[in-house]
A = this chain, B = another copy of it.
Amino acid sequence: MKIKILLLLLTTIISFGFSFAQAQQTTIIEDFKPSSLNQPQQEYPMVNSQGYARFKIIAPAADSVRVSLGLGGRGGTKLEKASDGSWMGTTEGPMDEGFHYYNVKIDGGKFNDPGAMNYYGSIRWESGIEIPAHDQDFYTLKNVPHGHVQQVLFPSPSTNTSRRAFVYTPPGYEMGKEKYPVLYLQHGWGEDETAWMNQGHANLIMDNLITEGKIKPFIIVNTYGMTNEVKYGRIRDFKIEAFQTVLIDELIPYIDAHFRTIAKQTHRAMAGLSMGGMETKTITLNKPEVFSYYALLSGGTYAPTDIKDKSKVKLIFLSCGSRERPEGVIKAVEALKEANFNAVSYISDKTGHEFQTWRRSLYELAPLLFK
**Chain B contacts of A154 at CB under 8 A?**
146
Contact A107 B107 (CB under 8 A): yes
Contact flags A140-157 to B (C-beta < 8 A → 1, else 0): 011100101111111100
**Residue from B61, B110, B143 within 8 A of A108 (CB atoms):** B61
Contact A146 B174 (CB under 8 A): no
Assess whether A59 is interfacial by the CB under 8 Å rule: yes
Once bound together, how far apart are the Cα atoms of A57 and B60, in whole Å? 18
Assess whether A228 is interfacial by the CB under 8 Å rule: yes
Looking at A90-98, A116-124, A233-241, A326-334, the stretch in contact with chain B turns out to be A116-124
Which B-chain residue is minimally distant from A59 (CB atoms)?
B109
Once bound together, how far apart are the Cα atoms of A109 and B59, in whole Å? 4
Contact B259 A109 (CB under 8 A): no
Contact B150 A59 (CB under 8 A): no
Once bound together, how far apart are the Cα atoms of A108 and B175, in whole Å? 53
Contact B109 A58 (CB under 8 A): yes
Interface size of A as a range: 35 or more
Kindly identify, within residues 62 to 83 of chain A, every residue whose CB is under 8 Å from any CB belonging to chain B: 62-64
Once bound together, how far apart are the Cα atoms of A151 and B118, in whole Å? 18
Contact A112 B111 (CB under 8 A): yes
**Chain B contacts of A112 at CB under 8 A?**
111-112, 114
Which B-chain residue is minimally distant from A152 (CB atoms)?
B148
Once bound together, how far apart are the Cα atoms of A143 and B156, in whole Å? 9
Assess whether A41 is interfacial by the CB under 8 Å rule: yes
**Residue from B63, B64, B148 within 8 A of A150 (CB atoms):** B148
Once bound together, how far apart are the Cα atoms of A111 and B146, in whole Å? 35
Contact flags A268-298 to B (C-beta < 8 A → 1, else 0): 0000000000000000000000000000000
**Chain B contacts of A151 at CB under 8 A?**
148-151
Question: Known contacts A61-B63, A149-B150; is A143 also within 8 Å of B114 by CB?
Answer: no
